[in-house]
Amino acid sequence: MQKAKKIFLLLLIQIILVSLYACGRTSETAGMIPTLKWYVHGEVQPDQERVNKEINKILEDKAGCHLDIIYLDPQVYAEKMQMLMASNDTYDLCFTGYVNTYKKAAQKGGLLALDGYLDDFPGIREAIPEYALEAAKIDGKIYAIPNIQIMAQCTGLFINKELFEEYGQMDVEDISGVEDVEPFLEWVKNTHPEIHAFGLGDARGWKKKFDYKLISEICLGVDIIEKGGKIEAVRSFSTREKLYEAKKIREYFEKGYMRPDIAVYDSFDSDNICRTSAVWRGVYKPGASAELYERTGIETICIPVSQPIIRHDTGKTTMTGVGRYSRYPDKAMRIIELMNTDKELYNLVCFGIEGVHYKMKDEKHIEKIPDSGYNVGNSWMFGKQFNALLLEGQEDDVWEQTERFNENAEVSPIMGFSFDTTAVSREIAGIETIYEQYTAFTKGFEPLEAYYDEFVSELENVGIDNVVNEVNRQLEEFFEYKK
């Protein structure tokens, strides 16, 4: 009996001690300000700690937390994030989109579904258009918030301004498609052999029009088009636009407008093309030339040459997600809300400290201070870009122009559609292999007539029609669900 009492007393003392310890820890934790982790891709900023201190002064007051922004090398960012997600890491925020692919990150369980939090953070709904939130859905749920910038997609024709002015035989107002600049391309080839006349870049932008509308290049080799009120998936190279593109590119190659190694060249980003070409196609948006100049020091003229459209996956390329195992999802959402509504915080993250990392040139424009230790470079990576201060060369109303551009664009009739490739993953891998094998043909290095039938036959052999049929099946389900 005495022994039992002693055991009971010992257990009771242990319980009391544990309870007192737990209470002490709870009180201690409650008094601490948590520091959230935000992973983004980019170069490590030498002066990041100094900027973080200023960021945390704002967040401590407005969100009750601190923030540690962690930059990872872009070359390893996706791999690193996959490892963190696979290990159930408790990071709080991350960039997702074209790297750390949004759909994969969501479906593999690395991101938290945010639908249940949105009503508690009305600033997000006020800042983000409804179509963008709709486009962000995967299997009916939102796993990341789009960083609003230029949402309407439009092909732009970029022209080296110095060369165009030297040519002096054409008005910008007379250019509505690639074909219009062919006399200029010929002049560049003959007058400036040190530069490539046509740098390729994005597809489309041709003056010639067709009796259907391209809705989406849903996957390699398969397009969704609208013709006569009907929306359906088709083989890409069965469309007259793709055939016309192939023929024109071949024509330009034969005339010597393009680099001779175009078949194997793979650095088609705008900065590289800008330094080596007189004309190329890229993404048009208000202020595009100014942004390109800020990065490269080369002046360009940018002309919209396609109908702007807000595509079904608009916004999925640049997003901010909350880690599935974050201990502070509410505070993470508050940070997202502030990055979309608080200009002081947003510009501090994007540009650093005034007088240290940049100086104001006027009320809206800044001039970055060289070698300041903080030069992030991509304001679209963190939140709503319309909150950003302006760079040299950007027009005073560039953000107002961009918002109008978005508002006036056509919205895709398949907004919110997400193609699940699971059932045809093998076929898609086969299609990608065939396109790699026929790169020279698809880039105009080889004549269309010599390889077209063989190319189509190879695509049929790996099951391209299975992919087309699967897209159409999912489109039918999508439209049925939307009724």
- Domain borders along the chain are 35-149+314-351, 155-310, 422-482
Q: Residue written as tokens 């063989």?
A: 454
At residue 431, does pLDDT exceed 90? yes
Of residues 188, 386, 411, the one with CA closest to residue 279: 188
pLDDT at 240: 82
Question: Does residue 20 carry a pLDDT above 70?
Answer: no
Look at strands 318-322 and 230-235 and give their pairing: unpaired
- Residue 314: pLDDT band with limits 50, 70, 90: confident
Q: Is 74 helix (H, G, I), strand (E, B) or coil?
A: coil
The answer, yes or no, to whether residue 325 has pLDDT greater than 80, is yes
Tokens of 10: 């010992």
Is the Cβ–Cβ distance between 309 and 410 less than 8 Å? yes
Q: Is 224 helix (H, G, I), strand (E, B) or coil?
A: strand
3-state secondary structure of 364: coil
Q: Which helix (H) or strand (E) holds 66?
A: strand 66-72
From the list 66, 62, 36, the residue with the least C-alpha distance to 322 is 36
The pLDDT of residue 266 = 63
Residue that wins the pLDDT comparison between 411 and 325: 325
For the chain, what is the mean pLDDT? 88
d(CA 61, CA 345): 12
Asked whether 160 and 279 are in contact (CB, 8 A), the reply is yes
Tell me if residue 148 falls in helix, strand or coil: coil
For tokens 């990608």, name the residue: 432
The answer to whether the CB of 143 falls within 8 A of the CB of 102 is yes
Q: Judge if 35-149+314-351 and 155-310 fold alike in CATH terms.
A: yes
| Crossing angle (nearest 10°) for helices 343-351 and 48-62 | 170
pLDDT over 70, % of the chain: 90
pLDDT given at position 26 = 32
* Rounded distance between C-alpha atoms, residue 319 and residue 94, angstroms: 8
Decide if 246 contacts 448 (C-beta within 8 A): yes
Residue 7 pLDDT more than 50?
Answer: no
pLDDT(261) > 90:
no
* pLDDT beyond 80 at 201: no
Q: What is the mean pLDDT of the segment spanning 336-352?
A: 97
187-202 burial, b for 16+ CB within 10 Å, e for fewer?
A: bbbeeeeebbbbbbbb
Q: Is the separation of the CB atoms in 206 and 244 below 8 Å?
A: yes
The confidence score (pLDDT) of residue 14 equals 40
Residue among 69, 149, 99, 136 nearest 380 (CA): 149
pLDDT for the residue numbered 179: 95
CA distances (Å), 123 to each of 64, 95, 334, 447, in order? Answer: 17, 20, 9, 54
**DSSP H helical ranges for 283-415:** 288-296, 329-341, 343-351, 398-408
Give the residue-averaged pLDDT of 66-74. Answer: 94
Q: What angle do CA 343, 63, 73 make, to 5 degrees?
A: 70
**Greater confidence, 273 or 51?**
51
Cα–Cα distance for residue pair 200/258, rounded to 1 Å: 8
Distance (Å, whole) CA 354 – CA 372: 11
Torsion angle of C-alpha atoms 347, 352, 358, 360, degrees rounded to 10: 30
The residue type of 184 is F
Overall average pLDDT of the 81-105 stretch: 94
Contact 444, 249 (CB under 8 A): yes
Mean pLDDT computed over 145-161: 92
Indicate the CATH number of 155-310 among 3.30.379.10, 3.40.190.10, 2.40.50.90, 3.30.70.360. 3.40.190.10
Give the mean pLDDT of 425-439: 92
Which CATH topology does 35-149+314-351 take? Answer: D-Maltodextrin-Binding Protein; domain 2 (3.40.190)
